[in-house]
Amino acid sequence: MIDTTQEQLIRLADAARLIPPARRGKKTHESTVLRWILTGTKAPDGSTVRLDGIRLGGKWLTSREALQRFGEALTPDLATGAGPERRRFSRPPRTRQRAADQAGRALTKAGI
């Protein structure tokens, strides 16, 4: 929760500019920041983490401190091993099974 007496409020467009470019150098759009406030994003452990935001005067605002908390909640502590574990496989089980079945058929066809 944002404490307006202790935190520096910033517009979502300004918050988006604080986030370094990601895929192919694309900048983060302010609608992404709003989505993080309204619906959140998945953490490595599968839980949903939401960015703290506040609506004042018909505008959504967040804070630098809220961005810090959001990043910390999404980042596992790799130094101590505490925090959510990374998944070994990035594909869903159904996709992995389909690929395994396809590989099995290819090996059978090759006579292996």
Break the chain into its structural domains and give their ranges.
9-85
Cα(17)–Cα(1) distance, integer angstroms:
22
Position 89 scores a pLDDT of 46
The percent of residues above 70 in pLDDT, for the chain, comes to: 87
Position 39 scores a pLDDT of 95
The percent of residues above 90 in pLDDT, for the chain, comes to: 60
CB distance 10 to 61 below 8 Å? yes
Residue 112: pLDDT over 90: no
Mean pLDDT of the chain: 87
Position 45 scores a pLDDT of 80
Residue 56 CB-density burial (10 A; 0-12 exposed, 13-18 middle, 19+ buried): exposed
CB distance 49 to 70 below 8 Å? yes
Position 87 scores a pLDDT of 47
Number of other CB atoms surrounding residue 62 within 10 Å: 26
Q: Please report the beta strands in the chain, taking only residues with DSSP state E, as ranges in sequence order.
A: 9-11, 41-42, 48-49, 54-56, 59-63
CB distance 64 to 10 below 8 Å? yes
Kindly state the average pLDDT of the residues 21-39. 93
Position 18 scores a pLDDT of 95
44-83 tens-digit pLDDT: 888 899 999 999 999 999 999 999 999 999 988 776 655 5
Longest dimension (CA), the chain: 72
